Structure 1
Amino acid sequence: MYDLRAEFSDTLSMLNDWDACLSRLHELAVAPPGNGATLASLHPHPPVASRQVLCGGANYYTHLEQLHAALLRKQGDTRSDEELFAAGREFGRSRLDGEAFVFAGLPSAVSGATDDVVLWGPGEQHDWELELAVVIGRGGFHIKEKDALDHVAGYTISNDISTREVMHRPNTGMTDYLMSKVRPTFFPTGPYIVPREFIPDYRDLRITLKVNGEVMQNESTDDMIFGVEQLVAHASTLVELQPGDLLLTGSPAGNAGHHGNRWLVPGDVMEGEITGLGVQRNRCVKPE
């Protein structure tokens, strides 16, 4: 790791002129400035001060199978687990006939890859959702799917912490993502941005999340329903994308509900890894 502050003020300014900055980064990689430092010796901040955080939801087949089967069981469906998961698979396949689901997060919830995650109330059913995150390098509105990857600077890791029992507001039929997902520290992100050219196939990555050393999520990005091209194109019909924006691509299977409602509690340590994108390690703490 090298200190590039003599070249660039911050990563957001780099992303505002990404093509030129990427070219300069290639030059610096050949002749790096000064002495380097190991990542382990540094405290990584969020890799970019994003203006907008957008989240893809319900975007992995196996995850949808689990969620749909659990919902049917909760509603009193007495079919076997095998039959419920088959219904879940069919539900997942039906998503392709629709369009991607994208909702808004808040930049104020973004924290670093080794920062503590504060388990704020109200609510106690705190859950993990490790996700591949897209970093926008070229903005746009109504981007065509065939051009979408040209707007991607690179990829990073983000963990979309969610408090489940306050997600659905009683007596309204509404889903409250502000209440359940965007509290301070609830989006650990990083440790760094990997330029798109170094990830030749974003559908060939392994997403792994451990809690206290126990594997909870272990899924390939090939299980993704809508790809990065579709998510970027769809998101750009909802908002005008800007350089530095984060677009999360959805959580794979293996959330707390699949593990017997094993919710996060103070003292838990989450370790999240995606192939080629580094490792996060976040300790869960109670509010002071």
Structure 2
Amino acid sequence: MAYSLIRFTQPGSQTEQAGVLVDGRVHPLPVQVNDLIQNWATWETTVEQLLASGSTQDSLNEKDIRLLAPVQPQQIIQAGANYRTHVIDLAVSHKKDDQSEEEVREQTARMMDKRSEEGLPYFFIGLPAAIAAPNDELSLPYYSQSHDWELELAAVIGKYTYRVSVEQALEHVFGYTMVNDITTRDLVFRKDMPAIGSDWYRAKNAPGFFPTGPLLVPSKFISDPQQLTVTLKLNGQVMQHESTADMIFSVAQLVSHASWNMPLLPGDLVLTGSPAGNGAHWGRLLKDGDVMEGSITSLGTQRVACRDEVRV
């Protein structure tokens, strides 16, 4: 029986709980999510015995709880520029006047082929404090009008992972969730320090900039993480719709490379990059009243309403 793991609170309570979600019923578990992940070899048996019993005693209706982000990572590793179509679209948008679109697309595609065979993923670090519940309202910071969406598949690390091979990497993945990696576009590059390059600390990581979840799905229920569909709708209109097969570096490659420089810990997130179709591509960035609906195959749907920050 397929099931998902969640974090939630009950009405009138601030106590965070972990639980198993199946067929609209939530079965609370007496354990915190990171302990659940770290000791999954023991808890998996308990969970499956509970579900096999068919008992709904002490279970809750999914509609009667408030979902939280299903993970509490100590570290967030983010991959950038990891979808072929996305990178090619970016190259076209920055092409020189004397270049044709077809020429740039062909040139960039060849570069991506070479990069996937010989290159390395591009990583940067996210801050766990920016994680938000999957249906929380997003406050758009007043200091910019160029906040953007980037829905991503996230691999959740299941055990201490240090310098693992690509072949071993997926054995270290506990499961999968989704993260909408909100980005403030006009802060990505430091105009006052162009030689430094990108400033991911300021461009990301504001409160609520990582809507996460709703579900944490154990990896045994995701037969191939490279065959999932990532879809983001803005006010009902599809903006991103792409298969994870379009990744330049696979989930296994990303986890392996991320673990080479630093140990990954149980509950940590490895974000795998965002496909084509963000706001910068469409020339349409987030504004007050927008509603984003993000979904990835088998991982549920998050719904995030946007509101302009009120300056005090």
Q: Could you tell me the TM-score, scaled by structure 1's length? A: 0.93
Partner of residue 111, structure 1: 132
Indicate if the aligned counterparts of 1:268 and 1:283 stay in contact, CA closer than 8 A: yes
Structure 1: 4+ residue segments shifted above 4 A? 2-5
Alignment gaps of 5+ in structure 1: none
Q: Offset of 1:3 from its aligned partner?
A: 5.1
Query: What CA distance in whole angstroms lies between the structure 1 residues aligned with 2:61 and 2:89?
Result: 40
Query: What CA distance in whole angstroms lies between the structure 2 residues aligned with 1:34 and 1:78?
Result: 69
Q: Offset of 1:115 from its aligned partner?
A: 0.6
1:187-240 C-alpha deviation (Å, 9 max, x unpaired)? 000001000010101111111000000100000011011111111111111221
Query: What CA distance in whole angstroms lies between the structure 1 residues aligned with 2:224 and 2:261?
Result: 26
1:156-210 C-alpha deviation (Å, 9 max, x unpaired)? 1110000111100014232111101111100000001000010101111111000
Q: Offset of 1:38 from its aligned partner?
A: 4.1
Equivalent residue for 1:271, pick from 286, 289, 293? 293
Indicate if the aligned counterparts of 1:266 and 1:286 stay in contact, CA closer than 8 A: yes
Query: What CA distance in whole angstroms lies between the structure 1 residues aligned with 2:261 and 2:57?
Result: 44
Q: Could you tell me the TM-score, scaled by structure 2's length? A: 0.86
State which drifts further: 213-222 or 119-128: 119-128
Partner of residue 7, structure 2: none
Structure that is richer in strand per residue: 2
Query: What CA distance in whole angstroms lies between the structure 2 residues aligned with 1:68 and 1:158?
Result: 25
Query: What CA distance in whole angstroms lies between the structure 2 residues aligned with 1:120 and 1:184?
Result: 9
Q: Offset of 1:4 from its aligned partner?
A: 4.7
Indicate if the aligned counterparts of 1:120 and 1:287 stay in contact, CA closer than 8 A: yes
Partner of residue 176, structure 2: 155
Query: What CA distance in whole angstroms lies between the structure 2 residues aligned with 1:87 and 1:69?
Result: 10
Look up the SS of the partner of 1:272 in the other structure: strand
1:125-149 C-alpha deviation (Å, 9 max, x unpaired)? 1111101011111112111221111
Equivalent residue for 1:11, pick from 23, 33, 50? 33
Indicate if the aligned counterparts of 1:66 and 1:88 stay in contact, CA closer than 8 A: no
Partner of residue 309, structure 2: 287
Q: Offset of 1:241 from its aligned partner?
A: 0.5
Q: Aligned residue pairs: how many?
A: 283
Letter in 1 for 2:103: E
Relative to structure 1, the CA distance from residue 197 to residue 77 in structure 2 (aligned partners, 3 Å threshold; closer, same or farther) is same
Partner of residue 246, structure 1: 269
Alignment gaps of 5+ in structure 2: 1-20
Indicate if the aligned counterparts of 1:59 and 1:226 stay in contact, CA closer than 8 A: yes
State the identity as a percent: 41
Partner of residue 138, structure 1: 159
Partner of residue 146, structure 2: 125
Look up the SS of the partner of 2:67 in the other structure: coil
Query: What CA distance in whole angstroms lies between the structure 2 residues aligned with 1:148 and 1:3?
Result: 31
Relative to structure 1, the CA distance from residue 102 to residue 8 in structure 2 (aligned partners, 3 Å threshold; closer, same or farther) is farther
Matched, 1:165 2:165: no
